[in-house]
Amino acid sequence: MKTNTAFILALAVLAAPAQVATSRPAVAQDTATSHCSAGETVYFSAAVDGSPKIVSLCGSADLEGDDAWLQYRFGETGNIELRYPAENADFRSAFTVRRYTRPRTTYLKFDFSNGGYTYAILEGYDADENPASTAFLRVRRDSDDEDVAKFDLTMSSDPLNIMTLEYKVRTEPFDE
């Protein structure tokens, strides 16, 4: 009996590194709260590194039908500085999702234009370069295509969660 138990434990120890090496890395939870209220679905949420600000994508649980909605929210907890689009606006044409995929790599870009600026959440996972998912927020001025802000993000939502929005909003080829 001891031999069987030792053999099973040895198999478990040998199998554990293989599982860790092939699974996607966990993202630290509770690193940021969300701007989403109870009853809203969190499609993406992340803290702006070095800042009390949060960026969230909140929406209805079902993004199909006439009552569906999705909204970008940015600011400190309890003080949303930017909310886009306005209530009851057509979110399907307001946002664009782009995806680039190759083996062991996925990059997602969620963007929209508002007031002469393009806001983009870029999220990526590249198993060969960085074993953890990364994300950042970029704001680019439309008139001269210059970046005016770029913030590293610490995600509190699941990695690559933006992928759930693909084909729910306008989807286009990845352009960086």
pLDDT in tens, 21-68: 222 222 333 334 899 998 899 999 999 999 999 999 999 988 888 888
Q: Which residues pair with 75 in a beta bridge?
A: 54, 80
| 70 vs 14, higher pLDDT | 70
Question: For the sheet containing 70-76, what is the strand order?
Answer: 79-84, 70-76, 53-59, 41-48, 146-155, 130-141, 117-126, 105-114, 96-102, 170-173
Please choose, from the candidates 28, 5, 8, 48, the residue with its C-alpha nearest in 3D space to the C-alpha of residue 133: 28
* pLDDT value for 66: 84
pLDDT surpassing 80 at residue 87? no
In angstroms, rounded to a whole number, what is the distance separating the alpha carbons of residues 169 and 95?
6
pLDDT of residue 58: 93
What's the pLDDT score for residue 62? 87
pLDDT at 13 over 70: no
Q: Find out whether the peptide bond into 85 is cis, omega within 30 degrees of 0.
A: yes
Q: Which residue has the higher pLDDT, 164 or 22?
A: 164
pTM exceeds 0.85: no
Question: Picking from 12-26, 77-91, 97-111, which range would have the lowest pLDDT averaged per residue?
Answer: 12-26
pLDDT tens digit sequence for 99-155:
998 898 889 999 999 999 999 999 988 888 877 778 999 999 999 999 999 999 998
pLDDT at position 169 over 60: yes
